[in-house]
């Protein structure tokens, strides 16, 4: 849960998570997405990324939805400001 925004190689993290899940397994979590709040985007880009707590690139909700639907048979997303919560089933 909550950590993909810190991984430097997000593509590998998504691929490995999907690869390791058994059929019917769930990938559930939440993390930051860009484009929902100018203030949050500024904070992430100018402070959190510079401290190493967040690592670009960051996805939009639509980019994340497309990526997850490539990997999973069922994808549910819910956003609250700049946070997305998801439940995916392989």
pLDDT in tens, 5-60: 888 898 999 999 999 999 999 999 998 999 999 999 999 999 999 998 999 999 99
72's tokens: 């999973």
- Could you tell me the CA-to-CA distances from 25 to 3, 19, 21, 88 in Å, in that order? 19, 11, 5, 8
Q: Which domain holds residue 53?
A: 4-89
Residue 2 confidence class, pLDDT cut points 50, 70, 90? low
Q: What is the pTM of this model?
A: 0.87
pLDDT of residue 59: 92
Residue whose structure tokens are 């500024």:
42
* Separation CA 23–CA 41 (nearest Å): 35
Phi and psi angles of residue 26, each rounded to the nearest 5 degrees, phi first: -110, 140
The C-alpha atoms of residue 79 and residue 86 are separated, in whole angstroms, by: 9
Number of independent structural domains in the chain? 1
- The CATH number of the domain holding residue 84 is 3.30.1710
């Amino acid at each position: 849960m909550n950590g993909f925004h810190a991984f430097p190689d997000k593509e590998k993290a998504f691929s490995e998570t999907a690869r390791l899940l058994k059929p019917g397994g769930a990938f559930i979590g939440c993390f930051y997405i860009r484009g929902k709040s100018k203030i949050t985007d500024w904070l992430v880009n100018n402070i959190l990324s510079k401290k190493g707590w967040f690592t670009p690139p960051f996805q939009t909700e639509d980019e994340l939805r497309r990526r997850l639907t490539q990997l999973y048979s069922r994808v549910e997303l819910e956003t609250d400001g700049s946070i997305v919560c998801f439940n995916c089933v392989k």
